[in-house]
């Protein structure tokens, strides 16, 4: 990339080359010899990148379909699986699709349980009996991440 910049290539061409390299890397290392069958859905956060979409379509020689909510398709699939599990009698803490519209509070603390002194972050939201802790992260030992609420 630096050599191309020094040679005076246009930024757009350099970016297109980087996108093409990422597509080749993905296809060679992850997809390998598997064949794509149409329709081809392109989902996840990278689907927002027009350069990556164009590079995939150019290399595959086929159009891509990008779903309306491409950035959350994985989470949506997990939610559907959770709903099926609940219907089958398995309990879950899934709060519904409206959770993104609910008020929440980000906080944290420094754990002094060992010499790491980790900064533990947490997200809480109002619950029936005060604050309900949703998630914690940032500890190196797993003490707080695996805490059963």
CATH number at 2-71:
3.30.420.40
pLDDT for 72 beyond 80: yes
| Site of tokens 């891509």 | 64
Q: Do 71 and 47 form a contact (C-beta atoms < 8 A)?
A: yes
pLDDT, residue 110, reads: 93
Mean per-residue pLDDT, 113-128: 85
Query: Which residues are registered as beta bridge partners of 126?
Result: 131
DSSP 143: T
Phi-psi region of 146 (alpha: psi -120 to 50; beta: other; left: phi over 0): alpha
What pLDDT digit, counting tens, does each position of 23-51 carry?
A: 999 889 888 878 888 899 999 989 999 99
The residue ranges of every structural domain in the chain are 2-71, 103-149
Comparing C-alpha atoms, which of 46, 39, 34 is closest to residue 65?
A: 39
pLDDT for 93 beyond 80: no
Comparing C-alpha atoms, which of 55, 25, 28 is closest to residue 42?
A: 55
More confident residue, 90 or 55: 55
Instruction: For 99-132, give the DSSP string.
Output: GGGS--EEEEEE--SSTT--EEEEEEEEETTEEE
DSSP 38: S
pLDDT, residue 64, reads: 94
Burial class (CB in 10 A: 0-12, 13-18, 19+), 19: buried
Overall pTM surpassing 0.85 (yes/no): no
């Amino acid at each position: 990339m630096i050599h191309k910049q020094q040679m005076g290539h246009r930024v757009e061409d350099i970016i297109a080359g980087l996108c093409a390299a990422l597509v080749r890397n993905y296809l060679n290392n992850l997809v390998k010899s598997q064949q794509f069958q149409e329709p081809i859905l392109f989902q996840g956060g990278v689907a927002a990148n027009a350069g990556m979409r164009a590079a995939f379509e150019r290399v595959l020689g086929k159009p891509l379909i990008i779903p309306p909510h491409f950035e959350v398709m994985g989470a949506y699939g997990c939610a559907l699986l959770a709903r099926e599990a609940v219907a089958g009698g398995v309990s879950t803490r899934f709060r519904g699709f409206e959770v993104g519209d609910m008020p929440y509070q980000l906080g944290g603390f420094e754990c002094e349980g060992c010499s790491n002194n980790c900064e533990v972050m947490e997200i809480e939201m109002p619950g029936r009996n005060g604050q309900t802790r949703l998630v914690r992260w940032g500890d190196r030992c797993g003490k707080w991440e695996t805490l059963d609420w």
